Chain A
Amino acid sequence: VQLLESGGGLVQPGGSLRLSCVASGFNFNMYAMSWVRQAPGKGLEWVSSISVRGGSTYYADSVEGRFTISRDNSMNTLYLHMNSLSAEDTALFYCAKWGCDGACFDSWGQGTLVTVSS
Chain B
Amino acid sequence: SSELTQDPAVSVALGQTVTITCQGDSLRMYFVTWYQQKPGQAPVVVIYGKNNRPSGIPDRFSGSNSGNTASLTISGAQAEDEADYYCNCRDTNASPVVFGEGTKLTVL
Instruction: Enumerate chain A interface residues (CB-CB to B < 8 A).
Output: 34, 36, 43-46, 49, 58-61, 94, 100-101, 103-106, 108-111
List 17 contacting pairs A-B, 8 Å CB cutoff, sorted by A. Answer: A34-B96, A43-B84, A43-B101, A44-B35, A44-B86, A44-B88, A45-B99, A46-B99, A94-B43, A100-B49, A103-B33, A104-B45, A104-B48, A106-B48, A106-B54, A108-B42, A109-B42
Contacting residues, chain B, for A110 (C-beta < 8 A): 42
Q: How far is the CA of A60 from the CA of B84 in the complex (A)?
A: 23
List the 9 closest A-B pairs by CB distance, nearest first.
A104-B33, A108-B42, A43-B102, A104-B48, A100-B48, A44-B99, A103-B49, A103-B48, A46-B97
A58 near B45 with CB under 8 A, answer: no
**Please, how many angstroms separate the alpha-carbon atoms of A59 and B33 in the complex?**
20
Minimum C-beta distance from A37 to chain B (A) = 11
| Complex interface residues of chain B between 67 and 108 (CB less than 8 A to chain A) | 84, 86, 88, 94-102
Q: Judging by beta carbons under 8 Å apart, are B33 and A60 in contact?
A: no
Other-chain residue from A43, A49, A61, A94 in contact with B97 (beta carbon distance below 8 A): A49
| Least Cβ–Cβ distance between A81 and chain B, in angstroms | 19
A104 to B2, CA, bound (A): 17
- In the bound complex, how far is the Cα of B45 from the Cα of A108, in angstroms? 10
Evaluate contact between A105 and B95: CB separation under 8 angstroms.
no
Shortest distance from the beta carbon of B34 to any chain A beta carbon, whole Å: 9
Q: Give the tally of cross-chain contacts (CB within 8 A).
A: 65
Who on chain A is nearest to B31 by CB? A103
Main secondary structure of the interface of B (DSSP, over half): strand
Given A43-B101, A46-B99, A103-B49, output 15 extra A-B contacts at Cβ < 8 Å: A34-B96, A36-B99, A43-B102, A44-B37, A44-B86, A44-B88, A44-B102, A49-B96, A100-B54, A103-B31, A104-B49, A105-B45, A106-B48, A108-B44, A110-B42
Which residues of B sit under 8 angstroms from A61, Cβ to Cβ? 1, 95
What chain A residues lie within 8 Å of B1 (beta carbons)? 60-61
Q: Does A43 contact B33, Cβ atoms closer than 8 Å?
A: no
List B contacts of A100 (CB < 8 A).
33, 45, 48-49, 52, 54
Docked Cα-Cα span, A58 to B94, in Å, equals: 8
